[in-house]
């Protein structure tokens, strides 16, 4: 049995410390989220971390995409190839590329806190406490824990240099009061996590939106809530954007049909000239080229 350490980092390496209410001095249930009660923490984790559609697509997605979790560029490499980093709070868009855009989800601050992991992300037995010391059977991990491990492992690939860290901090992807060295101590254990402890989505690296849309149309995952889903993510919010997509193809078809009709006219005229025996060579050449 392969056991893993949870949390992967030590209490001395946490980047976000417990916070308290200014008036009551009561510690936040979720760091940086003062209005989430304990009863809503699991719903919060599901909303912030889980990629239901991608997890459903993952077993068959290797047909459309390279199945390699390390297929993630560093942040400075994305920028050097002309890609723009767009912050998205939707976990389903994390590491999804749309032409020259790469969507990145900021890490929820609670994942940087040791006590939060112990309270809500490590397995429990009979509600009586944490199993064992800090080693756990991966088969007993909750989906939210697997998603958290996968998200943080992806940051281990995204941030390998100080320039990557500065890009992440400028986009508020990581806490602003953390140094590069502190972050490296925290993230290093996540880089060594195997695929069998993360959610299925994180068995892949970055994914192109066009391939996601194609896979969604063909595989039709039930979690989309639609019988015939057309796209993975809503791309258009008004009809003008949708119709603009067809402007270039319609212009091409119009030009093509105009050229075909003009060629047909030339062909008919050339054929009549060729039959009458006037300018035989020119008529034959015009007739042949118009058909081609």
pLDDT for residue 117 is more than 80: yes
- pLDDT (tens digit per residue) in 164-183: 999 999 999 999 899 999 99
| pLDDT for residue 130 | 47
pLDDT for residue 94 is more than 80: yes
Band of pLDDT at residue 283, cut at 50, 70 and 90:
low
Read off the pLDDT of each residue in 33-38 and give the average, rounded to a whole number. Answer: 88
Q: Dump the DSSP string for 25-39.
A: -PBPSBTTBTT--GG
Contact criterion met (CB below 8 Å) for 165 and 187: no
Q: Considering only 32-36, 53-57, 189-193, 267-271, which range has the smallest mean pLDDT?
A: 267-271
Q: How far apart are CA 59 and CA 182, in angstroms?
A: 36
**Which residues, in sequence order, are CB contacts of 123 under 8 Å at separation 6+?**
6, 130, 131, 136, 137, 140, 141, 142, 145
* pTM listed for this prediction: 0.80
| pLDDT for residue 227 | 79
| pLDDT for residue 288 | 65
Contact criterion met (CB below 8 Å) for 156 and 190: yes
Band of pLDDT at residue 79, cut at 50, 70 and 90:
very high
Band of pLDDT at residue 1, cut at 50, 70 and 90:
low
* Helix 162-170 / helix 180-191 crossing angle, nearest 10 deg: 100
pLDDT for residue 129 is more than 50: no
**Parallel, antiparallel or unpaired: strands 84-87 and 101-104:** parallel
Read off the pLDDT of each residue in 156-170 and give the average, rounded to a whole number. Answer: 96
pLDDT for residue 43 is more than 70: yes
pLDDT for residue 46 is more than 70: yes
Is residue 55 left, alpha or beta, with left meaning phi > 0 and alpha meaning psi from -120 to 50?
alpha
Q: How far apart are CA 190 and CA 5, in angstroms?
A: 10
- pLDDT (tens digit per residue) in 194-251: 999 999 999 999 999 999 999 998 988 888 888 778 788 776 666 665 566 667 788 8
| pLDDT for residue 128 | 47
Q: How far apart are CA 218 and CA 58, in angstroms?
A: 13
Q: How far apart are CA 54 and CA 272, in angstroms?
A: 63
| pLDDT for residue 291 | 62
pLDDT for residue 289 is more than 70: no
Beta strands across the sheet bearing 101-104: 84-87, 101-104, 96-98, 207-208
């Amino acid at each position: 049995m392969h056991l893993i350490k949870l949390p992967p980092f030590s209490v001395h390496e946490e980047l976000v410390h417990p916070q308290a209410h200014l008036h009551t001095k009561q510690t936040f249930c979720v760091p940086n989220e003062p209005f989430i009660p304990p009863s809503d923490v699991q719903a919060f984790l599901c909303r912030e971390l889980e990629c239901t559609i991608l997890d459903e697509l993952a077993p068959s997605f290797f047909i459309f995409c390279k199945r390699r979790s390390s297929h993630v560029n560093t942040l400075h490499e994305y920028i050097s190839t002309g890609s723009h980093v767009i912050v998205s709070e939707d976990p389903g868009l994390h590491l999804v590329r749309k032409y020259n855009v790469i969507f990145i989800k900021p890490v929820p601050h609670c994942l940087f806190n040791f006590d939060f992991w112990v309270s809500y992300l490590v397995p429990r037995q009979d509600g009586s406490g944490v199993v064992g010391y800090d080693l756990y059977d991966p088969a007993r991990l909750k989906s939210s824990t697997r998603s958290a491990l996968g998200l943080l492992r992806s940051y281990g690939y995204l941030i390998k240099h100080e320039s990557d860290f500065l890009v992440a901090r400028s986009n508020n992807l990581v806490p602003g009061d953390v140094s590069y060295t502190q972050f490296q101590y925290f993230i290093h254990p996540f880089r060594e996590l195997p695929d069998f402890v993360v959610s299925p989505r994180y068995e892949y690296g970055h994914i192109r939106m066009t391939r996601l849309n194609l896979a969604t149309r063909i595989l039709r995952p039930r979690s989309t809530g639609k019988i015939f889903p057309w796209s993975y993510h809503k791309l258009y919010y008004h009809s003008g954007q949708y119709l603009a997509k067809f402007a270039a193809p319609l212009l091409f078809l119009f030009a093509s049909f105009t050229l075909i009709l003009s060629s047909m006219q030339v062909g008919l005229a050339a054929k009549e000239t060729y039959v009458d025996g006037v300018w035989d060579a020119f008529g034959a050449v015009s007739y042949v080229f118009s058909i081609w």
